[in-house]
Chain A
């Protein structure tokens, strides 16, 4: 018995150890590049507003530690560390003399995305709607999504869980339309102030259409309309409409 009781402790210790060593582990295998521009400017922080405190000159070798947004933390041979903008990092070369291939995120990357995440707000038959979803793209035109939303009405709150397929016929358009089809469940919780009502869960199906707009870097906007049909256990089925707009990012 005593032997078993130590296991959670050990696992805890292991997790703690991992957590503490994580930042160190992440800094493994730094990459070395040679400055090819006359010089590159090293800022004190990852942003153009932070002052330049050092420059690395042409032919100098620097080690790249990490990237944050479009900034790179580099270290010179003398141990000086600073953040360099992506445009200046493009003017460095690898050990074999080829330029360091770096891409800023663009509309093309949005088309080639694999994963997307977004949160949204909107309206569902007068109730405030909010939620989030994760999407996986099979190719430029077809993707699948899992979403979880909550609609907060005056008399009840509804939770919706949906799985849907999304078809995007014109991924190259800036304002790119999409069509969606899916199903899920809806759970209705009447407000505590109301009496003689009970929670219920029903299955749903929905059809919808919307627009995706690439903004900048890894961000995009998405607006959508959906029509839901609810298959209730009562005599007749219900249906309702949902409008939403969201801000998302992709990988």
Chain B
């Protein structure tokens, strides 16, 4: 009984299949070459609209920093600033920063007593710069046996302007830093940077090196 039903179904299916095949062939022969080509070129298939889901993308990093800056010939004083970075790939990022510090007196000013080379407002050292950074030596640091944090050592360099002693100077900065990721959005930085520009403030024109060492707290958004 079972065999007979199976045979019945199979033969019907085979017949239908043959029928489809033969009608298909017949149709194909009916179509002219030109028409077929047209069909191949313009298949009228409704395109499915693919929209990329919206994720919380966190490629920007914003932070405040504070530390020390050594202004050549003018001693070391506190420095602080603001930075915004865009992470384009897992290793490359662009950074814009604005920072400020204040020059102390030169040793000549201190020894001579009354002489002042700069006014108070000219002592303000303000810079902004645009830099590109590259993360090298990614790693992990361990705190006790229980906590592990990701870290990155990066090289960075760029160009910018420094306003000091009443003038704006074209400034090149190079440096390196260390980024410690506390969790997936909060980071701590240690950053050492040399801000170099030409200055003729003390007579002869020379390239001044202004080293800055800062620590910062920043977060991804």
Which one of A10-18, A60-68, A176-184 is at the B interface? A60-68
Alpha-carbon gap, A71 to B184, bound state (A): 12
CB neighbours (8 Å) of B91 from chain A are: 47
| Interface size, A (range) | 35 or more
Given contacts A65-B184, A249-B94, 16 further A-B contacts (CB under 8 A): A31-B53, A31-B55, A46-B90, A47-B135, A47-B138, A48-B90, A66-B58, A68-B220, A69-B87, A72-B55, A100-B53, A119-B94, A130-B159, A152-B169, A216-B89, A217-B88
Alpha-carbon gap, A121 to B59, bound state (A): 24
A residues at B contact (CB < 8 Å) = 22-23, 26-27, 31, 44-51, 64-73, 100-103, 119, 121, 128, 130, 132, 150, 152, 157, 189, 191-193, 216-219, 247, 249
The answer to whether A23 and B130 touch (CB under 8 A), given A66-B58, A101-B52, is no
B181 at interface by CB-CB < 8 Å: yes
Are the CB atoms of B159 and A121 closer together than 8 Å? Answer: yes
Are the CB atoms of A132 and B130 closer together than 8 Å? Answer: yes
B167 at interface by CB-CB < 8 Å: yes
B residues at A contact (CB < 8 Å) = 50-53, 55-59, 86-92, 94, 96, 122, 130, 132, 135, 138, 140, 148, 150, 159-161, 165-170, 181, 184-186, 200, 219-221
Alpha-carbon gap, A84 to B190, bound state (A): 28
Alpha-carbon gap, A103 to B91, bound state (A): 19
Are the CB atoms of B58 and A67 closer together than 8 Å? Answer: yes
Are the CB atoms of A68 and B59 closer together than 8 Å? Answer: yes
Alpha-carbon gap, A27 to B55, bound state (A): 9
Are the CB atoms of B221 and A22 closer together than 8 Å? Answer: yes
Alpha-carbon gap, A100 to B52, bound state (A): 8
The answer to whether A26 and B89 touch (CB under 8 A), given A65-B56, A66-B184, is no
Alpha-carbon gap, A78 to B66, bound state (A): 40
CB neighbours (8 Å) of B138 from chain A are: 45, 47, 49-50
Alpha-carbon gap, A67 to B89, bound state (A): 12
Are the CB atoms of A45 and B132 closer together than 8 Å? Answer: no
Q: Which of B52, B53, B56, B86 has the most CB of A within 10 A?
A: B56
Q: How far is the CB of B125 from chain A (nearest CB, A)?
A: 14
Are the CB atoms of A45 and B88 closer together than 8 Å? Answer: no
Partner of B88 from the list A132, A189, A219 (CB cut-off 8 Å) is: A219
Are the CB atoms of B150 and A44 closer together than 8 Å? Answer: yes
Partner of B161 from the list A100, A130, A193, A249 (CB cut-off 8 Å) is: A130
Q: How far is the CB of A199 from chain B (nearest CB, A)?
A: 13
Closest 4 CB pairs of A and B: A192-B166, A128-B170, A119-B130, A47-B90
Alpha-carbon gap, A217 to B169, bound state (A): 33
Q: How far is the CB of A196 from chain B (nearest CB, A)?
A: 16
CB neighbours (8 Å) of A27 from chain B are: 56
Are the CB atoms of A64 and B55 closer together than 8 Å? Answer: yes
Are the CB atoms of A130 and B185 closer together than 8 Å? Answer: no
Are the CB atoms of B52 and A191 closer together than 8 Å? Answer: no
Are the CB atoms of B53 and A69 closer together than 8 Å? Answer: no
Are the CB atoms of B219 and A23 closer together than 8 Å? Answer: yes
Q: How far is the CB of A183 from chain B (nearest CB, A)?
A: 24
Alpha-carbon gap, A56 to B130, bound state (A): 41
Q: Which of A31, A70, A130 has the most CB of B within 10 A?
A: A130
Partner of B89 from the list A70, A132, A193 (CB cut-off 8 Å) is: A70
The answer to whether A152 and B181 touch (CB under 8 A), given A47-B138, A68-B87, A130-B130, is no
Partner of B160 from the list A47, A130, A192, A216 (CB cut-off 8 Å) is: A130
Are the CB atoms of A73 and B184 closer together than 8 Å? Answer: yes
